[in-house]
């Protein structure tokens, strides 16, 4: 390996001694350029880029520190590593030299050839690492700027897409409402009334989901609106709704009688979680296979949690995909291209559960089905991380 060093010293004997010490380096070949003044050194550096510079502090005219200060103002593409040499061990000179940009400081009368070579190599390595870190920082800044630009474009596209999607939904809602008013009472059967009502509610719900999708992709989730909620009532309602829309899948609701399943939760957020988990159970299961929704209560050392399991007998999740199942835009490799989905639902569901201070996990075996488990604490400690997003002050259970 070869390195180029500029030796700046007005003493002929000193230049000879340093050149000889570098020539005898067993590990490195040094190409040495010599000048005897700071002015000559600055002129040399304006057209050359040595790897290092050995700089005598006591120079005629401009001293070494003044030269370093002038060098920093030249805005060279690559500043050399600098080791300052002086005839006396003056600490003030050492401090000034290091402040001006030197990497090391040697007293001429006390260093050995090996110490000189080691100091130069270390200075060159320090500058190399500094340049590399600076280059990485600049690359990271450029990547971050590019990512911000890409996110801005993505958000704009999402905004346009969601705006276009809401238009047809409004038309569907309006026409369903008009039909409910205009169909004669003699023709409006209870079943028809129910189906029109489902259509209106589904359109409203789809509008909410589109808005939520936009919030999640922009990282602008609304804070939770916590209120006392009976999770069993909510689950019953969602099971009945799923039975209407997914009649080819029998739903089984299991909940022990007499147990309390209430907590301080956001009903709309948990409704989205249930819709996602139950909808996935239907989507990825063969016709006629059951979907089981199970509620239970778990007693912990510090808090009590309500547990919700959604169990299907569907295609399952490959073992290699399990660690990534809750990441955005990730889907199992065994999912057919014909099955619709964005890969956002489970990531959003886990985020909503975690905002409640709970957890969402999965156990699955490919070809045998999946069990998604939600654990929700009844209350949230105000000082704990799970309190994020709470709309009012929380207190630990007594």
Average pLDDT over residues 137-141: 90
Q: Which of 19-28, 208-217, 368-377 has the lowest mean pLDDT?
A: 208-217
Q: How much is the pLDDT for 340?
A: 53
Average pLDDT over residues 212-240: 81
pLDDT at residue 338 greater than cutoff 80: no
In a 13 Å sphere around the CA of 22, the CA atoms on its Cβ side amount to 24
Give Cα 90 distance to the centre of its chain: 50
pLDDT at residue 322 greater than cutoff 50: yes
Band (394; pLDDT cuts 50, 70, 90): very low
pLDDT at residue 99 greater than cutoff 70: yes
Q: How much is the pLDDT for 92?
A: 82
pLDDT at residue 242 greater than cutoff 80: yes
**CATH dotted code for 227-387:** 3.30.565.10
Architecture of domain 2-111: 3-Layer(aba) Sandwich (3.40)
Band (337; pLDDT cuts 50, 70, 90): low
User: What are the two backbone dihedrals, phi and then psi, of residue 155, each rounded to the nearest 5 degrees?
Assistant: -60, -35
Band (172; pLDDT cuts 50, 70, 90): confident
Most confident region among 80-94, 141-155, 362-376 by mean pLDDT: 362-376
The C-alpha atoms of residue 307 and residue 360 are separated, in whole angstroms, by 10
Of residues 264 and 222, the one with the higher pLDDT is: 264
pLDDT at residue 45 greater than cutoff 90: yes
Q: How much is the pLDDT for 221?
A: 58
The C-alpha atoms of residue 2 and residue 31 are separated, in whole angstroms, by 7
Domain ranges in the chain?
2-111, 145-218, 227-387
* Sequence-separated (6 or more) residues with CB below 8 Å from residue 309: 292, 293, 294, 296, 371, 372, 373, 374
Instruction: Give the mean pLDDT of the chain.
Output: 84
- State the Cα angle at 68 between 67 and 69, rounded to 5°: 90
Average pLDDT over residues 356-370: 94
pLDDT at residue 51 greater than cutoff 90: yes
Percent of the chain with pLDDT over 70: 85
Q: How much is the pLDDT for 393?
A: 36
Q: How much is the pLDDT for 380?
A: 67
Q: How much is the pLDDT for 384?
A: 40
Q: How much is the pLDDT for 241?
A: 87
Q: Which one, of 117, 90, 118, 120, lies nearest residue 103 by Cα?
A: 120
Q: How much is the pLDDT for 395?
A: 36
- State the Cα angle at 353 between 386 and 199, rounded to 5°: 140
Band (388; pLDDT cuts 50, 70, 90): very low
Domains 2-111 and 227-387 alike in fold: no
Q: How much is the pLDDT for 82?
A: 94
Band (212; pLDDT cuts 50, 70, 90): low
Q: How much is the pLDDT for 150?
A: 81
The C-alpha atoms of residue 386 and residue 30 are separated, in whole angstroms, by 61
Q: How much is the pLDDT for 194?
A: 82
Average pLDDT over residues 287-298: 93
């Amino acid at each position: 390996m070869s390195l180029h060093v500029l030796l700046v010293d007005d003493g002929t004997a000193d230049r000879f001694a340093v050149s000889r010490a570098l020539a005898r380096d067993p590990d490195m070949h040094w190409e040495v350029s010599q000048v005897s003044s700071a002015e000559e050194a600055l002129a040399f550096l304006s057209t050359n880029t040595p790897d290092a510079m050995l700089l005598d502090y006591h120079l005629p005219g401009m001293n070494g520190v003044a030269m370093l200060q002038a060098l920093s103002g030249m805005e060279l593409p690559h500043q050399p590593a600098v080791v300052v040499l002086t005839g006396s061990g003056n600490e003030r000179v050492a401090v000034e030299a290091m402040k001006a940009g030197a990497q090391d400081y040697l007293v001429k009368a006390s260093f050995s050839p090996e110490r000189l070579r080691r100091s130069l190599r270390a200075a060159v390595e320090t500058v190399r690492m500094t340049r590399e870190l600076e280059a990485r920082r600049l690359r990271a800044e450029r990547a971050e700027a590019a990512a911000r630009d890409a996110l801005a474009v993505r958000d704009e596209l999402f905004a346009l897409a969601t705006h276009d999607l809401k238009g047809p939904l409004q038309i569907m809602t309006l026409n369903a409402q008009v039909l409910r008013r205009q169909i004669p009472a003699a023709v409006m059967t209870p079943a028809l009334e129910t189906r029109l009502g489902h259509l209106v509610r589904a359109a409203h719900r789809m509008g909410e989901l589109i808005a939520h999708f936009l919030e999640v992709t922009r990282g602008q989730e609304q804070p939770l609106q916590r209120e006392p909620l009976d999770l069993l009532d909510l689950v019953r309602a969602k099971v009945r709704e799923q039975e209407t829309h997914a009649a080819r899948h029998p739903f089984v609701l299991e909940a022990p009688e007499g147990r309390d399943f209430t907590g301080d939760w956001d009903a709309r957020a948990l409704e989205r979680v249930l819709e996602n988990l139950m909808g996935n159970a239907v989507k990825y299961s063969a016709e006629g296979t059951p979907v089981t929704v199970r509620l239970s209560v778990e007693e912990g050392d510090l808090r009590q949690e309500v547990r919700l399991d959604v169990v299907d007998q569907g295609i399952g999740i490959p073992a290699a995909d399990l660690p990534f199942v809750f990441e955005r835009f990730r889907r199992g490799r065994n999912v057919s291209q014909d099955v619709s989905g964005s890969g956002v639902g489970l990531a959003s569901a886990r985020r909503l559960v975690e905002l409640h201070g709970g957890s969402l996990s999965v156990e699955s075996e490919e070809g045998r089905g999946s069990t998604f488990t939600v654990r929700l604490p009844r209350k949230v400690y105000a000082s704990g991380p799970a309190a994020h997003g709470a709309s009012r002050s929380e207190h630990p259970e007594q």
